[in-house]
Amino acid sequence: MPGARTTAAFKGELRTAQGPIRTENLPDVTGGARAPALCTPSGYGWRDIAMGTLLKRALDQAAVWHRAQKRKYPNADVPYISHLAGVAVLLARHGFDDEVVAAGALHDAMEDQGVTFDELSQRFGDRVATLVRHVTEQDRALPWEDRKRLYLDAFPKKPWEAQAITLADKIDNFQSIIVCAREHGDPWSMFKRGRDMQIARFEELRAMCRGLPPHPLLDEYGAVLDELLSTG
């Protein structure tokens, strides 16, 4: 299932809240290749710790790169990391692996802060950097309408994980608009284009999603967009 976690089975014993279990009794979901038997005293694999560190490093670095950037809230000073963390949380909640979640936290680094592909790759690996490049507008010199048109046209051709980052990005933006409207004032005045043009783009993306295999993230996109439309 797209977005589902896969867990390598380590030989020996895995400790859980319910007590130790023998990993040789677990189903092998790694395609036949088992990870080396490297476990910490607490029972977690070294790779689990490294991947957890990857996400923490991604969030820390995103906070540094975007430290001067704010969300488009009238009458509220909201740091941009709120959005990046929201995207990461959405992806993690839907079961995407840590590299995808890290790419979600970093998804605006190239587009908004001019971070290069090489720097992202050196810091976080080729897969993270490639996913960020997939969700980055390629020519910021173009007019807004042309940039958004090209971005939408490219969406069906992207790998599922990159599509998921785009959807999580939009969902968090929808939620921000909803919260802003309820607590801080009219959010639409903060956008370069008006509400109707923005909503048309969101609806076009929803139509594209109907051609994708079913996934709870797609359902959430539609549900939160409907909530946004109901706010007026």
Q: In Å, how far are 24, 37, 50, 65, 182 from 88, measured between CA atoms? A: 32, 30, 17, 16, 24
* Rounded Cα gap, residues 30 and 32, in angstroms: 5
Whether 97 is catalytic is: no
* C-alpha angle 84-70-88 in degrees, rounded to nearest 5: 5
Angle between helices 160-183 and 126-134 (to 10 degrees): 60
- Phi, psi angle pair for 125, to nearest 5°: 100, 160
* Rounded Cα gap, residues 202 and 174, in angstroms: 10
For residues 149 and 180, is the Cβ–Cβ distance under 8 A?
no
Catalytic option among 48, 111, 137, 220: 111
The per-residue b/e assignment along 213-226, b for 16 or more CB within 10 angstroms, e otherwise, is eebebbebbeebbe
* C-alpha angle 131-136-137 in degrees, rounded to nearest 5: 150
Whether 112 is catalytic is: yes
> Read out DSSP for 70-123?
B-S-TT---BTHHHHHHHHHHHHHTT--HHHHHHHHTTTHHHHH---HHHHHHH
Catalytic option among 112, 137, 204, 220: 112
Catalytic residues: 111-112
